[in-house]
Structure 1
Amino acid sequence: MKAGWETKRLGEIIQLEYGKPLADSDRNPNGLYPAYGANGIKDRTDKFYKGEPSIIVGRKGSAGEVTLTEEKYWPLDVTFFVEFDRAKYELQYLYFLLLTLNLPSMAKGVKPGINRNDVYDITVATPDIEEQRRIVTLLDEAFADIATAKANAEKNLQNARELFSNQLSLALIPSGPDWVETTVGETCTLKSGTTVPISIERPDGEIPYVKVAEMSMPENAEGICTSIRFLDRSDVKNGWLIPAGAVIFPKRGGAILTNKKRLVLREMCADLNIMSVIPSEVLTPEFLYFYFLNVDMRVLGTGSSIPQINNYDIAPLKISFPKSKEKQVELTEMLRSIEAECHSLEAIYRQKLTALDDLKKSLLHQAFSGQL
């Protein structure tokens, strides 16, 4: 341990005091002061319980999450607020220290909660207040630079996503008399999934039985080819089958908001929460898939308390495509190439964001092991 640092139980440095209930009548979305829940500002109020800045530690729910408060605030009853000797300890230093302790890992129970006595038993090393202030200054400067770099990486990540979206929209604009303009209902067959008896589901077999969750399997990222449940062909009725070449998407509930679509790569069945669109002979499956990538399902799935997409939402959608299937293939190959390049860019920026998070953790570790 670095000279001048002392090892203590955290309970000798801070006290975790219980937050207080705030009556509904005292809550005001335009209130002067923040009311903190377990994971940040939950509400606002014109009253404050504490008149100086401190640290909130989630007690229930988002237990162990750490938030730095504004000067005057109200700590709600799902929180602890931190009290400490301000002559010996720097607020920002204690905030950074608590961030390094991974307090959420101490949560227990069905509704996760942390016991403050468990927190008090953690042993930490701390320097005098002047060294604390020096460390805080270094971390503040480094974290400001990291925040700027993260903002740039996030912006670049968003730009990469928008680049493909823009190119997709441009590629689907009719560009001459050799394009057909019609509707999805006139060009495709719409088919919803069906509920099958659990007794005929198998862990493997000939026909994948796909639910919305299976659309997110890594193996299905490029198109539906498998599932965690299967059906024997002898158990499958003709009306259940969705052919290879169809495009599927969630049709009910919150899953619509994921805006997820998949091309079907092998004959399959789907449950009732999935809709399929089966192209006619005039459309290539890939072209139909890219067409639906350009359709925002979140706009269609409105109008009721539970979002739902029906045939009458999809059938009237206008669709344009080249009469020549060779031209459709040419367009989709170009789009696949652009999509791959954009995905590569996204991967680079996601890696950079991960590296910046790792750098922040590394700096905190160095700071609280006396290496800064």
Structure 2
Amino acid sequence: MRKGWEKKALKDTCKVFADGDWIESKDQSAEGIRLVQTGNIGFGFFKNKEEKARYISEETFKRLNCTEILPGDLLVSRLPDPVGKACIIPDINTKMITGVDCTIIRPDDNLLSEFLCYYQRSNKYLNDVQAGVSGSTRQRISRKNLGLIEIPLPPLEEQQRIVAILDEAFEAIDKAKANTEQNLKNAKELFESELQRVFSKKGKDWEEKTLGDIGKPSMCKRILKNQTLPSGDVPFYKIGTFGKKPNAFISQEIYDEFRTKYSFPKKGDVLISASGTIGRRVRYDGKPAFFQDSNIVWIANDEKQVLNDYLYVFYEFCDWQPSKGATIARLYNSNLTSIKISFPKSIKEQQTIVSKLDALQEQTKKLEAVYTQKLQDLEELKKSMLQKAFSGELTGKSEKIVK
């Protein structure tokens, strides 16, 4: 911290430092005084959420002796995520109160709300908050511990300078993030639009059939819980480990017996998740493995009409609309067999389409990786600027910092 700056406990920098009010469901009404809750507190910004707004009446306000929050006050959520996140309350043209899980901060004349709000986004502040949390199931920080966190307190003129630099810099960073997020969205939409174009096509040399016409839906025989092992010879993929590292196994003996007697995918078949996140798919590589019955299915396809590679890209295009089971959504065989697929009669043309889509998807993934990394870099730039700002190292104008 720069020489000459003061440090004070947060509670000692405020005109008001108090928790919100205990408002029960029975106290709430359809209109009246707005109840601002932890869900309205973003990480440095206010989430209005008017469509989910809750209220209390003026009568209830007086009866419970509620504390009104004012535009310019800061609200701190003493719950995650993260614990201690804060925002400045804007003027939304209505009277407001807040709940007991929020702390109201009204800074005194020596502390700018904007300066404090920026500080409450810094790693130093968040680390200090984390050091004061308690609770084994759901972490929170008490108002007492929150109030003991030390805040840097430079002169007002210096606070104003820092806020001006951060405002300009963060505006530029947010603009860059918005452009990057749009580019990321465009990259994903490019591939999705190409899938739409390909599988909506119905040329004269194309056919349209149902998946039931292509092959028979199949699944492995049911494995009982007492037949699985925590480690063993052959991995057993359940719906939760589909496409990931398995945490259950079966013996080689059971595998050999079941593979001989019952349905089993061949190398290259496309396995589909039929519950949970429906439509996840992997190509079966032919290595010894067993798959949870009814939750992981495949079309037993001889590839005389449609290549499995073509099915694989089609499944990404497919709009899965399963029937609703008693407890979870599930893709039943009747759902699967009725799905329509358009495809060229020529196997060679199918191969060409798959190659083009694979190349486009690879290009899309590279772009997504670039844009995702840029978003991470921009967030790191914010953190770096906050660290410099509150250690007294932030000098010059923001355009010299933001490239």
Q: For this structure pair, what is the TM-score category when the shorter chain's length is used for normalisation?
A: 0.7 to 0.9
The one-letter amino acid of 1:277's match is W
Deviation at 1:31, TM superposition (A): 6.3
Matched, 1:76 2:99: yes
Unaligned runs of 5+ in 1: 218-225
Q: CA deviation at 1:368?
A: 0.6
CA distance in 2, matches of 1:174, 1:205: 47
The 5-angstrom pairing of residues 58-137 of structure 1 reads 58-62=77-81, 63-71=83-91, 72-85=95-108, 87-100=109-122, 101-102=125-126, 105-106=130-131, 107-109=133-135, 110-137=137-164
Structure 1 stretch displaced more, 128-137 or 41-50:
41-50
CA pair 44-194 structure 1, distance change in 2 beyond 3 A: farther
CA distance in 1, matches of 2:353, 2:383: 45
Q: Is the deviation greater in 63-72 or in 283-292?
A: 63-72
TM-score, scaled to structure 1: 0.85
- The residue number in structure 2 matching 1:292 is 315
Distance 1:361 1:54 in 2: 24
Question: 2:18–2:103: 8 Å Cα contact kept in structure 1?
Answer: yes
2:301 aligned residue: 280
Alignment deviations for residues 269-306 of structure 1 (CA, whole Å, 9 cap, x no partner)? 22256232224112222111111100122x43558763
Match in the other structure for 1:215: 242
Is 1:341 aligned to 2:363, yes or no?
Answer: yes
User: Alignment identity in percent?
Assistant: 27
What TM-score do the two structures reach when normalised by structure 2?
Answer: 0.79
SS of the residue aligned with 2:140?
Answer: coil
Correspondences of 1:239-278 after superposition (within 5 Å)? 239=262, 241-253=264-276, 255-256=277-278, 260-266=280-286, 268-272=289-293, 274-278=295-299
3-state SS of 1:99 partner? coil
Pair 263,34 (structure 1): closer, same or farther in 2 beyond 3 Å: farther
Q: Report the AA paired with residue 120 of structure 1.
A: G
Which aligned runs of 4 or more in structure 1 are off by greater than 4 angstroms? 25-32, 192-195, 203-206, 301-305
Q: Using the TM superposition, name which of 37-46 and 60-69 deviates more.
A: 37-46
CA distance in 1, matches of 2:175, 2:328: 40
Letter in 1 for 2:269: A
Q: Is the 8 A contact 1:38 1:60 kept in 2?
A: no
Tell me the SS of whatever aligns to 2:120: helix
Count of equivalent residues: 359
Residues 78 and 121 (structure 1), Cα distance of their counterparts in 2 relative to 1, 3 Å cut = closer
Q: Which amino acid aligns with 1:271?
A: Q
Note if contact 2:34-2:56 (Cα within 8 Å) is conserved in structure 1: yes
SS at match of 2:21: coil
Q: CA RMSD in A?
A: 2.9
Deviation at 1:346, TM superposition (A): 0.6
Q: Extract unaligned runs of 5+ from structure 2.
A: 42-46, 62-67, 395-403
Between the aligned partners of 2:32 and 2:178, the Cα distance in structure 1 is 30
Query: Does structure 1 conserve the Cα–Cα contact (< 8 Å) formed by 2:213 and 2:337?
Result: yes
Structure 2 vs 1, CA of residues 368 and 182 (structure 1 numbering), >3 Å: closer, same or farther?
A: same
**Structure 1 residue 92: Cα displacement:** 1.0
2:130 maps to amino acid: S
